[in-house]
Amino acid sequence: MSRTEISTLGEFGLIEYLTKNIEIKNSSTIKGVGDDAAVLSYGDKKVLVTTDLLLEGIHFDLTYVPLKHLGYKSAIVNLSDVYAMNGRPKQITVSLGLSKRFSIEDMESFYEGIYLACEQHGVDVIGGDTSASLTGLTISITCLGEGEEDKIVYRNGAKDTDLICVSGNLGAAYMGLQLLEREKAIFDGSSNFEADFSGKEYLLERQLKPEARKDIVELLAQNDILPTSMIDISDGLSSEIKHICKQSGTGCRIFEERIPIDYQTAVMAEQFNMNVTTVALNGGEDYELLFTVPLHLYDRISKIKEVHVIGHITDSKFGEILQTRDGSEIELKAQGWNSIKEE
Amino acid sequence: MSRTEISTLGEFGLIEYLTKNIEIKNSSTIKGVGDDAAVLSYGDKKVLVTTDLLLEGIHFDLTYVPLKHLGYKSAIVNLSDVYAMNGRPKQITVSLGLSKRFSIEDMESFYEGIYLACEQHGVDVIGGDTSASLTGLTISITCLGEGEEDKIVYRNGAKDTDLICVSGNLGAAYMGLQLLEREKAIFDGSSNFEADFSGKEYLLERQLKPEARKDIVELLAQNDILPTSMIDISDGLSSEIKHICKQSGTGCRIFEERIPIDYQTAVMAEQFNMNVTTVALNGGEDYELLFTVPLHLYDRISKIKEVHVIGHITDSKFGEILQTRDGSEIELKAQGWNSIKEE
């Protein structure tokens, strides 16, 4: 039997490969694999389901992440997926694999973070599974939410000329991670650069205590704006807009100068000798919402302070383009985190 | 800050401790933590949610478990939880943490098993999360199912004089595990006992390819029997009946001579010099259904060939009792697997 390395397909490729032959059997399954959340129908309301697996050493480093923050963030990343469907998160299950290194007090801290996130978003913890682990901490959270049938927003609804919008600002969580990694290197003794977090609190907060944009979903509803497509930014703007374009069968044009970047992010990127646009495009973990709205809603969307129009959807033949400040055009690539450092 | 080892509370204790202050916020949450599955209400049908986390080295050993079987079993243990609520499983999410050791072909085998279980039970795979892992294989599956409001069966409905029933037979999966462990010891060179699986196929199948008792749930409905309480046997009869008694506020009396044991299980237990009743009480992983029915349904339940009446519910003051073949009484203890070997 032949052996093909998983790296040849990548995460998305593997999922696509393994799920390509799924045939839906139940009338209650409206949408399965392939969006931020699945959509189920169990009566008048639709049920949204999303799940995330977080592994120590891959998704988090307990050297600098307090357990309470980790609990909070573990919940938030799931809630964010439900908001990205224009839904409201309602319940989560929390499964943990725990090595002997962890005490009950540790787990209390972790759950404090979980419960804080749930409190802020009106979510119930309804179950889970707890197990011994031979190796570090494993966290698996599944979130259920509800949405109204005609208001659930998928990734595949973007249309030519739609405006591309993003909430908040991008790249800060990634720069926060760089700061923490530098701090760790000092602890390790592998660097003697003096860590200084003063004035960088915002970047750390974006990395350690990200927020799910419940407020944006509410503002959109209040302003009677139903996006044509939506996704949350967990892997970086490039990767996410490419998901929307691929599933919608469109192209896009993003304007570099319109990508929202916080002042601290820009300063830190310069200190680290990184291109701040590359950071914003590929940094990930911002958990901002990326969505498209019809062109005629320009005035309405412009009034929402926390939302920025960064480009527009095009016919697929024009590709996925970044127009730089100097007017040149670059094809958008989903680089992900690792490749940023190699630049 | 003090440090308390998790072992002082145990798995159930830890869950209880961490979830004791949960206050339900959503009207759609009917039942949260504390049963085989949570119960949600999103319209006329009720939604059941259950999740399991399986870790390499803790829950499975890839030395002797083929990946296809592991996929099958990973799905089945979740479906079994939905059947244990008298529900019908409908959807699952599958999350995997994968180290570089695993190839795409490995994952295809694993998913073949998942899809086979889903095919047999009419279940849709609706999503999941796939991640790199530094350490072995991590599997987290969440299952959603549906149930009718007045037919969902909880753990807490057992009443004094109810009959205690169990499907199939007990202890075989545990003896299958012993066989496989012995085989592994021979590979390791740590034992020179000659492994011989002939005539033991049933035990291996019970361990490697357990079934969720959809048929029993259907037979109960066909015979118009609604259990007063139900649970699936994942940790062993003792542990499960104690869950029912604790949550129902009752005691119980189990008759040793009525515990259903397969001939091969008995033969293997003798070969391994184990007490077969101890194996049946504490072996676990049988995924049979344990349930209680009102006494007046005795005739009706007796007609179902695959179900055995093994005792009855008592007032809580009488405790949780095993009446042995020689008429003496022993208090039931939830020993779990580890303690079996120490006897």
Give the tens place of pLDDT for each residue, B237-289.
Answer: 999 999 999 999 999 999 999 999 999 999 999 999 999 999 999 999 999 99
Q: Which of residues 38-67 of A touch B (CB under 8 A)?
A: 38, 40, 42-47, 49-59
Please tell me the distance in Å from B326's CA to the nearest CA on chain A: 38
Please tell me the distance in Å from A108's CA to the nearest CA on chain B: 7
Q: How far apart are CA A325 and CA A135, in angstroms?
A: 47
Mean pLDDT of A68-73: 95
pLDDT at B337: 47
Give the tens place of pLDDT for each residue, B120-141.
Answer: 999 988 888 888 888 889 999 9
Find the residue in A nearest to B138 (Cα).
A138
| C-beta of residue B233 within 8 angstroms of C-beta of residue B88 | no
Please tell me the distance in Å from B220's CA to the nearest CA on chain A: 23
Helix (H) or strand (E) holding B18: helix B10-19
- Which residues of B fall within a CB distance of 8 Å from A129? 51-53
pLDDT at B194: 60
Nearest to A130 among B11, B28, B111 (CB): B11
Cβ of A58 and B100 within 8 Å? no
Q: Specify burial of residue B9 (Cβ count, 10 A radius: 0-12, 13-18, 19+).
A: middle
Nearest to A22 among B17, B100, B125 (CB): B125
pLDDT-derived band at A108 (thresholds 50, 70, 90) equals confident
pLDDT at A190: 66
Residues near A98 by beta carbon (within 8 Å), at least 6 away in sequence: A107, A130, A131, A132, A133, A137, B6
Nearest to A132 among B58, B103, B105 (CB): B58
Nearest to B128 among A43, A51, A96 (CB): A51
**Chain B interface, mutation test: which of A104, A139, A149, A235, most B Cβ atoms within 10 Å?**
A104
Q: How far apart are CA B250 and CA A295, in angstroms?
A: 65
Q: Answer with the residue of higher pLDDT: B182 or A289.
A: A289
Mean pLDDT of A202-223: 96
H helices of B124-275, where?
172-188, 201-208, 214-222, 237-248, 263-271
Q: How far apart are CA A292 and CA B181, in angstroms?
A: 56
| A271, pLDDT greater than 90 | yes
Find the residue in A nearest to B135 (Cα).
A135
Least confident of A26-35, A50-59, A281-290: A26-35
The complex scores an ipTM of 0.86
Q: Which of residues 144-183 of A touch B (CB under 8 A)?
A: 144, 146
Task: State both tokens at A154.
Answer: 């998928």
Cβ of B104 and A132 within 8 Å? no
| A337, pLDDT greater than 50 | no
Cβ of A33 and B129 within 8 Å? no
Cβ of A130 and B95 within 8 Å? no
Neighbours of B177 (CB within 10 A): 21
Cβ of A90 and B28 within 8 Å? yes
Q: Which of residues 118-147 of B touch A (CB under 8 A)?
A: 118, 122-136, 138, 140, 142, 144, 146
| A46, pLDDT greater than 90 | no
Within an 8 Å CB–CB cutoff, is residue B233 touching chain A? no
pLDDT at B341: 43
**Chain A interface, mutation test: which of B142, B143, B155, B232, most A Cβ atoms within 10 Å?**
B142
Q: Answer with the residue of higher pLDDT: A34 or A140.
A: A140
Give the tens place of pLDDT for each residue, B201-243.
Answer: 999 999 999 999 999 999 999 999 999 999 999 999 999 999 9
Within an 8 Å CB–CB cutoff, is residue B5 touching chain A? yes
Mean pLDDT of B99-113: 88
Mean pLDDT of A220-234: 96
State chain B's mean pLDDT as an integer.
89
Q: Which of residues 102-121 of A touch B (CB under 8 A)?
A: 102-105, 107-108, 111, 115, 118
Please tell me the distance in Å from A22's CA to the nearest CA on chain B: 7
| C-beta of residue B126 within 8 angstroms of C-beta of residue A125 | no
pLDDT at B175: 96
Helix (H) or strand (E) holding B140: strand B138-147
Cβ of B51 and A9 within 8 Å? no
Task: State both tokens at B299.
Answer: 């005739």
Mean pLDDT of B286-314: 97
pLDDT-derived band at B340 (thresholds 50, 70, 90) equals very low
Q: How far apart are CA B221 and CA B83, in angstroms?
A: 12
pLDDT at A340: 44
pLDDT at B168: 98
Nearest to B38 among A37, A54, A127 (CB): A127
For chain A, domains (ranges, CATH) are: 48-151 (3.30.1330.10), 163-341 (3.90.650.10)
pLDDT at A183: 82
Q: Answer with the residue of higher pLDDT: A246 or A338.
A: A246
Q: How far apart are CA B228 and CA A181, in angstroms?
A: 56
Give the tens place of pLDDT for each residue, B7-41.
Answer: 787 767 777 777 878 888 777 788 777 777 788 88
Least confident of A20-34, A158-172, A287-301: A20-34
pLDDT at A193: 59
Nearest to B5 among A33, A103, A140 (CB): A103
Give the tens place of pLDDT for each residue, A175-205.
Answer: 999 999 888 887 766 666 566 677 889 999 9
Nearest to A53 among B1, B17, B129 (CB): B129
Please tell me the distance in Å from B88's CA to the nearest CA on chain A: 11
Cβ of B131 and A55 within 8 Å? yes
Q: How far apart are CA B83 and CA B98, in angstroms?
A: 29
Please tell me the distance in Å from A285's CA to the nearest CA on chain B: 15
Cβ of A125 and B28 within 8 Å? no
Give the tens place of pLDDT for each residue, B53-65.
Answer: 999 988 899 888 9
C-alpha neighbours within 13 Å on the C-beta side of residue B185: 12
Q: Are strands A229-232 and A289-293 parallel, antiparallel or unpaired?
A: antiparallel
pLDDT at B296: 97
Phi and psi angles of residue B273, each rounded to the nearest 5 degrees, phi first: 60, 40
Least confident of A21-35, A248-262, B196-210: A21-35
Nearest to B138 among A26, A102, A138 (CB): A138
pLDDT-derived band at B195 (thresholds 50, 70, 90) equals low
pLDDT-derived band at B6 (thresholds 50, 70, 90) equals confident
Task: State both tokens at B16.
Answer: 């209880």
| C-beta of residue B47 within 8 angstroms of C-beta of residue B143 | no
Secondary structure class of A216 (helix, strand, coil): helix
Least confident of A31-45, B76-90, B107-121: A31-45
Cβ of B97 and A55 within 8 Å? yes
- Which residues of B fall within a CB distance of 8 Å from A96? 53
- Which residues of B fall within a CB distance of 8 Å from A78? none
Within an 8 Å CB–CB cutoff, is residue A28 touching chain B? yes
pLDDT at A299: 97
List the one residue out of A237, A189, A213 whose CA is nearest residue A82: A213
Least confident of A43-52, B279-288, B304-313: A43-52
pLDDT-derived band at B105 (thresholds 50, 70, 90) equals confident
Least confident of A217-231, B98-112, B303-317: B98-112
Cβ of B47 and A134 within 8 Å? no
Find the residue in A nearest to B19 (Cα).
A125
Of chain A, the percentage scoring pLDDT greater than 90 comes to: 61
